[in-house]
Amino acid sequence: MRYSEEELRKKLQLYFVMGSNNCLKDPEIVLQEAIEGGITFFQFREKGTHAKKGSEKIKLAKKLQAICKQNGIPFIVNDDLELALEIDADGIHIGQEDEDPLKVRKMIGDKLLGISVHNLNEANQALAQGANYLGVGPMYETTTKKDIREVKGPEVIVELRENNLTVPIVGIGGIQKGLIKSVIEAGADGVAVISAISNSENPREAVKDLLEEMK
């Protein structure tokens, strides 16, 4: 891994996840403004209705990756091993229904591997399979992702911590202004958000508001 666990914990504080169909304006501008606001981590998640495919997807990925590079923000690719390897991303994030984590790890070497989990069993399995961090959710109701599991709230993170899981964790799903504290207090190192930033007219200010709540 290219980051120590402690470094990774810090970097995961405000994790912005985004694809072009999440944005109200040009995704490059949204990302740039989110970075100016202070996001600490980025995931390119180009999926769902009107998502770019093929060379268009690669083109956008490279543009967003360049913006992250210029600003020292880790760039993670959602569920596309081929793309992650082709553009030499900092890591990949996969869900329970995605590619086999052991295979992914073999292919990515020491790049970061994030895995989405929904309970203690999945969390233990993800760790055994070499996850560097876990995305736990959905914390709250969300309309951004259609096929979500049951909402169990920050309580799931409490359960993982009570079972001595020290791995870096971000909560995800429906996290908006006013809900950050509950996720952090449950034991998360950070929060992962899409719409709280991407649906804002002013992503820079949206990020600042979210960070303000972390203090």
Residue set of the binding site: 43-47, 78-79, 98, 116, 142-145, 174, 194-195
Q: Which residue's CB is nearer to ligand TZP, number 88 or number 201?
A: 201
Q: Which listed residue (79, 80, 90, 209) binds Mg ion by CB under 5 A?
A: 79
* Closer to ligand TZP by Cβ: residue 69 or 177: 177
Residue 145 near ligand TZP by CB under 6 A = yes
Nearest-angstrom CA–CA distance, 34 and 197: 7
- What are the residues whose beta carbons fall under 8 Å from the beta carbon of 8, sequence distance 6 or more? 1, 112, 132, 133, 168
CA–CA distance, 93 with 114 (Å, rounded to integer): 4
CB of 78 to ligand TZP, least distance (A): 8
Cβ at position 8, least distance to Mg ion in Å: 21
* Partner touching 80 among ligand TZP, Mg ion, none, CB below 5 to 8 Å by kind: none
Strands (E), the chain: 14-18, 41-44, 75-78, 91-94, 112-117, 133-136, 169-172, 190-193
Using CB under 6 A as the binding rule, the residues of this chain from 147 to 166 that contact ligand TZP are 148
95: contact with Mg ion by CB under 5 A: yes
Pick one of 114, 154, 168, 174: the residue that binds ligand TZP (CB under 6 A): 174
Query: Is 170 in a helix, a strand, or coil?
Result: strand
Q: Is 196 helix (H, G, I), strand (E, B) or coil?
A: helix
- We find the least distance from the C-beta atom of residue 162 to ligand TZP, in angstroms, to be 22
Report how far residue 179's alpha carbon sits from residue 94's, in angstroms, rounded to the nearest whole number. 25
